[in-house]
Amino acid sequence: MDSESTHTGISRRRFLKDGILVPLALAVAGGGISTLFLRRADARGFYLRPPGALEERRFLAACIKCGKCAQACPYTAITMAGGEAGVGIGTPHIIAREFPCRLCPDIPCAKACPSGALDRKLEDVEKIRMGTAVIVDRENCLSLRGLRCEVCYRQCPLIDKAITIEPRHNPRTGVHSIMEPVIHADKCVGCGICENACVRDKPVIVVIKSPPVQKDYYEF
Ligand code: SF4
Ligand code: SF4
C-alpha cells in the first residue's frame, strides 16, 4: 500500500487535492461569480418593488415569496428575483425597461398580497411611491439637445403632474428653445413608464430609489 495512504485507501496527497484544494478553488470561483451577479443586480442600487411595498428591510422580512402579486398583474410587470438577489431571492420586483408598472386603478397586485408586504389599503395610484424618475444622462437626452422628443413626458400617466415640459433658451442656436422634461419628485410614483419609453438605446431617464415611506405596522 502507498506510504501516504489513509485508512480509506485514499492517498494523503489526493485527499488534500480533491478533498480540500478543489472545493476551496470552487468556493473562491463561486464567490467571484456570485459577487459578479450581485454587482449586476445591484447596478442601480435597489430593486423596484411593486406598488405599496414596505420599506425595503421590512419588505424583505414580511414578503413570503408566494408570487400572488405577480399572478395578479395583468401586464406581467412583476417578476420574482433569482439567486442574484441574495436574501431577496424569490421576492417580486419590476424591471421597468422591459415591463413597467401600468398603474392599474384598482392596484390588484397590492390587493392580492396576503402578508402585508404590500399595502392592501392603497387606493390612490397617485399615492404610490416605488421610486423617482431622474434624467441620469443629460448629454444624450434628445430634448435637452434641442430636439422635439418629449416621449417620456407624453407617455407619463401623470403627465403635467409628475413630468412637465419647461421651455428654455437654446444657447447652441440662439434662436430656438430647449423643451426640457422636468420631473417633480413629489408627484412621481416611480412606475418606470418613462424609462420603458425612452427612445435611446440606453435609457437616459431611469427610476431611482426615493426616500422610503416608513410605516410602523403590518397589515395581516
Ligand atoms: S399596479 Fe397593475 S401594472 Fe402595476 S404592478 Fe400592480 S398589477 Fe402590475
Ligand atoms: S403577494 Fe406579497 S407576500 Fe406574496 S410575493 Fe408578492 S409581496 Fe411577497
Q: What is the mean pLDDT of residues 8-34?
A: 45
Structural domain count of the chain? 2
5 dihedral zone (left: phi>0; alpha: psi -120 to 50; beta):
beta
Clarify whether residues 69 and 124 are in a common domain. yes
- Bridge-based pairing state of the strands 177-183 and 132-135: unpaired
CB contact at 8 A, 92 and 55: no
- Domain that includes residue 49, residue range: 45-128
Find residue 205's DSSP bridge partners.
135
Phi and psi at 35, nearest 5°, equal -65, -40
CA 73 to ligand 1: nearest atom: 7
- The reply to whether 69 and 89 lie within a common domain is yes
Q: What are phi and psi of 180, to 5 degrees?
A: -85, 125
Same domain, 171 and 122: no
Look at residue 26 and tell me if it is in a domain. Answer: no
Share of the chain above pLDDT 90, in %: 67
Residues 111 and 156 in one domain: no
Residue 55 lies in a domain: yes
If you measure from the C-alpha of residue 196 to the centroid of ligand 1, how many angstroms do you get, rounded to a whole number?
15
Res 118: pLDDT: 98
Domain containing residue 100: CATH number: 3.30.70.20
pLDDT for 85-128, tens place per residue?
Answer: 888 999 999 999 999 999 999 999 999 999 999 999 999 999 99
Q: For ligand 1, atom 4, name the residue with the nearest CA.
A: 101
Q: Which residues pair with 80 in a beta bridge?
A: 92
Q: Where a domain ends, among 128, 161, 192?
A: 128
DSSP code string of 136-195: --GGG-TGGGT-S--HHHHH-TTBTTTEEEEEEE-TTTSSSEEEEEEE-TTT-----HHH
Determine the distance separating the centroid of ligand 2 and the alpha carbon of 118, expressed in angstroms.
7
Does 22 have pLDDT greater than 90? no
CATH number of the structural domain spanning residue 200: 3.30.70.3270
